[in-house]
Every structure is written in C-alpha cells, then in structure tokens.
Structure 1
Amino acid sequence: MNSFFWISYAILWILVVPLVILNLVLFRQLGIMVMGTARGVNQSGIPVGNKMPRATTTTLQGAEWSTGELIGTPSLMLFGSPTCKECAEILPDFQRIAMMNNVKPILLLFASADLALDYVRKIAYDDEVLIVSSEFANHLDVQVTPYAYAVDANGTIRHKGLVNSREQLEAYAKASRVS
C-alpha cells in the first residue's frame, strides 16, 4: 500500500504541473480575446506620455525612414505580420479609420521586403509600409502583433498595446489627435 501511495502521488504531480501551466496560458488568452487587453503585453513598449525614441528602418521601396518623421502629424503605427491572422482581420479597417480621424496610417511589417510586397499587393494597401528589423522592434520594444502606437503631432505616445478590433483601432486613432 505504501508504494502504491507514492507512485500515485508522483503521477498526480506529473499531471498537475502541466495543467497549471495550461490554465495560465488560457487565462492570458481569455484576457486578450474577451477583455481586449493583456496586461503583460500592454506593459511592454515605450511608456505612454514619453516621446517616440529615434530609430530608423527602411520603407518597402528601400528608402530609409526615421521615427523623427512622425513629428508634425498625428500618426497611427500598426505592427503586423503577413502570417498574423488578427492582423489580416483588422487591416481592411486600418487605413479607413486613420483617414476618418485625420491621422497618418503607418503599417510596419515583420517580414522580408519580398514577402511584405506580396502581402501589401494581396491586401491592396496603398499607404506607407515599413519593414521591421529585429533591431528596430527591440528599440521600440515591440514583441507581438498586432501592436500599435498612437503618436501625437509632437511625437509623444498617447496610447499603445495590442489591437484586436475595429473599436480599439478607433480609440488609438482618436488618442493620437490629442496634444
């Protein structure tokens, strides 16, 4: 009886540890999907109220682009990926919402130039597209997609975090107009 107890005790612990990990993952997903937020992810990124740091990357056409170009125009920066399902769902509304709110839409893709070009053609996106390198993403502290920064005309971040819906895009666009 004693050995049976210890064997069953060990088996139970072997089952409990993965279940606890699975529950933590599910609670995070529930927070993202139902409440539209994931505190751990939204705490990453440049803090709201700070100026957007200087960083450079390239446009889809290969020209150099700097975050300094954000000064003077309220902007909505959306980080996405051609393989991101959520990105594909909100991209059709991205340009339209930015235009309706008089902010500049900037799409930043985690992809090679060729893959990004194919993706942009496929979705018929015709505004500015930037290629995100790992160095650029690290400098702006972006680790997931779809992630957005609402930047006002002074280059100050007014809102940041995951964007999973049209309503969130609208809130970000409105936040970028506040100075």
Structure 2
Amino acid sequence: MNEALLVSNVLLWIAVLALLVAVIALARQVGILYERIAPMGALMMDSGPKVGDEARVFELPLLGGGTRRLGGTAPRATLLFFLSPTCPVCKKLLPILKSTRAAEQGWLDIVLASDGEAPAHEAFRRRAALDDFPYLLSAELGMHYRVAKLPYAVLIDESGRVRAKGLVNSREQLESLFAARELGVASVQEYLDQPRFAKERA
C-alpha cells in the first residue's frame, strides 16, 4: 500500500514538473511572438503633403458659423480628423476622440473635417454630441490632404508642419500618430523598420 502511494506521489510530481516546463516554454514563445509582431500604426498614404512639410494655411468656415484657421504657427498642435456621418468606423471612434481631447488638452486641439451638405452634418453633429468640437466642411481640404478613405487623421504641430498622418481605425492607430511625433519619425512603422528593430524581428 505504502509503495503504491509512493509511486503515485512520484508520478504526480513528475506530471507537475512536466507541466511547469511546458508553461515556461509557452511563456517564452509568447514573449518571442510579442517582440516579433510589431504594433500596427496608422496606415500612411504616400499621396498628399509629406510628414515634415509645412501645412498649407487654410481659413475655412465652421459648421454653425465662424471660421477656423489651419496651418501656420499656433500655441497648440492640431489633430485634423476627417469623418463622415455615414462612416461606421468614424462613429466608433468618436468616444475615443472625446477621451483623447480630455487626456491631451494641454497640447492638442482636435478639429473635425468633412464635406457635403450642411444640414446632414448639423443633424449628425447633434446626434453624436459634437457641438463643442470645431467642425469644418470643405471639399478643398480633403483634396489637399488626398483623403481617399475614412477615418483619416493629420497631426499638425505648433510650428505648422505635418508631423504624422494616416488612416485610423482604432485607438491604437490614433495614438500611433502621437507616438510618431514624440519619436520624431513619420510613422511607427518607420521607427520599427530601423535596423535594430528589423534585426530583432527577423
């Protein structure tokens, strides 16, 4: 009887140790995969003003009255967010824009931009509770930045230069524009394509 208990205990300990080794091996593999899979930043298009270029100065009418100046030197950076009332991804990002504005209010203004008929945008603005966001309607602005897909964002710094831009479908992609600005690169992908990171992912 004692021998049977002893054997079963030994077998249980062997099983526990084997499981421990398996967990450690899996944890290591997860770590390796995490290092190799780069974060997906905003998808930057090659067309339109390039990162580092001086942003063209616009004086555009605001939805609801008044005008807004874009480009040129300013006390704060500007995130120009292109959206549409019929874009479901844009609607999904609106709460993220609101929380981003609150979190980054020390250095960033967020300006919404679109084109089309004013009444449809007025109704959308009311439904989405966007009354406190500057909202521009300008086909010329979208054409200047070569906006082909939505939602699209352009980050213009305080000196009036394009610091980052791209198609943004998630909070991570939106925040990658800020990361690119802080890192002094055109995009997160450009930063990760540097030789030291490319070698680690190889």
TM-score computed with the length of structure 1 as normaliser: 0.69
**Alignment length (residue pairs):** 143
Does residue 77 (structure 1) correspond to residue 84 (structure 2)? The answer is: no
- For structure 2, list consecutive stretches of 5 or more residues without a partner in the other structure: 1-39, 185-202
Unaligned runs of 5+ in 1: 1-34
Aligned residue among 57, 66, 69 for 2:69: 66
1:178, CA displacement in angstroms? 7.4
Q: In the alignment, does 2:147 pair up with 1:142?
A: yes
Query: 1:106 Cα deviation (Å)?
Result: 0.7
Match of 1:88 among 82, 91, 109: 91
- C-alpha contact (below 8 Å) 1:45/1:160 kept by paired residues: no
Q: Is 2:58 the counterpart of 1:52?
A: no
How big is each residue's C-alpha offset from its partner over 1:142-162, in whole Å with a ceiling of 9 and x where there is no partner?
222111001111111111010
Separation in structure 1 between the aligned mates of residue 172 and residue 53 of structure 2, nearest angstrom:
24
CA distance in 2, matches of 1:99, 1:174: 17
Q: Deviations over 1:77-116 (max 9, x none)?
A: 1000001111111111112113312311111123321111
Read off the aligned partner of 1:131 and give its amino acid letter.
Answer: L
* In 1, Cα distance between equivalents of 2:72 and 2:120: 25
Share of identical aligned residues, percent?
32
**Relative to 1, partners in 2 of residues 1:44 and 1:95: Cα closer, same or farther, differing over 3 Å?**
farther
Corresponding position: 1:170 with 2:175: yes
Distance (Å, rounded) in 1 between the aligned partners of 2:147 and 2:56: 13
SS in 2 for 1:46: coil
Query: 1:127 maps to what in 2?
Result: 133
Distance across 2 between alignment mates of 1:166 and 1:112: 28
Q: Which has the larger radius of gyration?
A: 2
The TM-score normalised by the length of structure 2 is: 0.62
Q: Quick one: distance in 2 between partners of 1:174 and 1:132?
A: 28
1: CA distance, partners of 2:134 / 2:180: 20
In the aligned structure 2, how far is the partner of 1:162 from the partner of 1:86? 11
State the shift of 1:47 in Å: 0.4
1:17-66 deviation digits (Å, cap 9, x = unpaired): xxxxxxxxxxxxxxxxxx56656xx1123100111112232101232323
Deviations 1:118-157 (A, max 9, x none): 1011111121111122x23222322221110011111111
Residues 1:153 and 2:153 aligned together: no
